[in-house]
Amino acid sequence: MTLFKVLVPVLIFCSMESFSQDSYYNIPKAPETYSAQNMVVRMIDGLGFRYYWATSGLKETDLAYHPNNDARTSRETLEHIDGLVSVILNTVSGKDVAIKQNYKELSFEGLRANTLKNIASAALILKESKEDLKDLNLVLGGKKSSYDFWYLINGPLEDAVWHVGQLVSFRRSSGNPLPEGVNVLSGQKKD
């Protein structure tokens, strides 16, 4: 068992202790160096910042919105994003991806908090890890299907960002645009 696999539960516990609902109000400070790990952490933090603001102040009418009968509602899209974030967290934790979440009992606030916490946990684990990314695989179905880390980036991570963009579009369409002052280039909210 690698030191990484021993430290993961500790890191997740620590991240839950230090996590605040406002952890992604602004994007965290950028790392001082460019490395593969830091680049992926920054991508995850970018997802956290975008998700935070895409979901801030959503109302029941926003959650029920969908552009047509064949499309997911905003609430269903949030559930899908949570599942993608769970895949990211499990992968960086060195765990098999077996997501079977029941969202029926989970409030919007609970779902939002869970997703933000898992985004922050995934970023912290990668930030603290000395594990080479090539040793982290996206594992589906008990090692029946294992994919290189590249697939985590072009699959669940980018898909989650894609769906956050859908949420932004959906909330505009339902009459509740993003709060003013959210700047995705700087990762800051100007008050």
Task: Tell me, yes or no, if the pTM score tops 0.85.
Answer: yes
Residue 7 forms part of a structural domain = no
The predicted-structure confidence for 82-121, as pLDDT tens digits, reads as follows: 999 999 999 999 888 876 778 988 999 999 999 999 999 9
Domains of the chain: total: 1
Cβ atoms of 78 and 108 closer than 8 Å: yes
* 40-94 pLDDT tens trace: 999 999 999 999 999 999 999 999 999 999 999 999 999 999 999 999 999 999 8
Flag whether 26 is in a domain: no
Rounded to 10 degrees, the C-alpha dihedral 99/103/106/108 comes to 100
Residue of 116, 117, 122 lying closest to 42 (CA atoms): 122
Q: Residue 114 falls within a domain, yes or no?
A: yes
Give a yes or no: residue 61 inside a domain.
yes
Task: Calculate ∠ Cα 18-14-56, nearest 5°.
Answer: 40
For residue 75, the surrounding DSSP H or E stretch is helix 74-92
The answer on pLDDT for 9 being more than 60 is no
Q: In this structure, is residue 63 part of a structural domain?
A: yes
> In CATH, what number is assigned to the domain containing residue 63?
1.20.120.450
CB-CB contact of 79 with 111 (8 Å): yes
Contacts of 117 by beta carbon, 8 Å cutoff, 6+ apart: 15, 16, 19
The answer to whether residue 22 is domain-embedded is no
Residue position matching structure tokens 């669940």: 156
For 137, the domain range is 34-177
**Is position 189 within any domain?**
no
Q: Would you give the distance in Å from CA 35 to the centre of its chain?
A: 20
pLDDT above 70 coverage of the chain, percent: 88
